[in-house]
A and B are shown apart, each in its own frame.
Chain A
Amino acid sequence: KAGVTQTPRYLIKTRGQQVTLSCSPISGHRSVSWYQQTPGQGLQFLFEYFSETQRNKGNFPGRFSGRQFSNSRSEMNVSTLELGDSALYLCASSTSVGGPHNEQFFGPGTRLTVL
């Protein structure tokens, strides 16, 4: 079974631009979560989608948005990029939401650099 894939793996943008990152979950997984990881910080939760609906949202500004398609693939978009948005963006998929034993499977991440 193929794992979680994220594209692109690396991205360089300049301040003010916008970016779209893509995530394809493991086949059969309907939940997709997005995280931001910066040096010295843990994974910061962005949002979680299940069956095309946003189920949870973290404390990020409205510049960060996402969506999920009917095939469970997900995209996240960051508009008006700032230098502080430079980070590793991780996507994780799971079979469902809301359970303690709901193991999340992570993709390798997209490394975004904002110049």
Chain B
Amino acid sequence: DQQVKQNSPSLSVQEGRISILNCDYTNSMFDYFLWYKKYPAEGPTFLISISSIKDKNEDGRFTVFLNKSAKHLSLHIVPSQPGDSAVYFCAASRMDSNYQLIWGAGTKLIIKP
């Protein structure tokens, strides 16, 4: 039972354009969401997070949007740069589970020059 789903295994975007990565979840009890980025041969690194009490969080070129009614969040990268090419993981956690992270399968983002 996948509680966090990233339905697009890969996404290709032109450099300079907007990249939108999507994530759906099934458990309405999740109260914190995170995005991690992973380069080949490296471990994931934290990118940005959002609490369930918010619907938007912005950090430079990265913005995460949360739609609780749709149980959907998205990561926007504007403008996309070649260094953004990586696998992006969405993760969610709940206070009553000690904030143990539940991860999506990841989306491979390819930025074309």
> Which residues of A are interface residues toward B (Cβ below 8 A)?
4, 35, 40-45, 48, 55-56, 58, 90-92, 97-109
Contact = CB atoms under 8 A, between A and B. Distances in A.
Given A98-B98, A100-B93, A100-B99, A42 B105 contact: yes
Given A42-B89, A90-B44, A106-B43, A100 B51 contact: yes
A100 B4 contact: no
Contact of A48 (B41, B43, B100): B100
Contacts, number: 63
A79 B45 CA distance: 30
Which secondary structure characterizes the binding site on chain A? loop
A106 B38 CA distance: 10
How extensive is the interface on chain B, given as a class?
A: 20 to 34
Which of A43, A56, A101, A107 is most buried by chain B, counting CB atoms within 10 A of its CB? A43
Interface of B: 2, 4, 6, 9, 31-32, 41-46, 49, 51, 89, 91, 93, 95, 97-106
Given A56-B98, A100-B32, A100-B93, A42 B43 contact: no
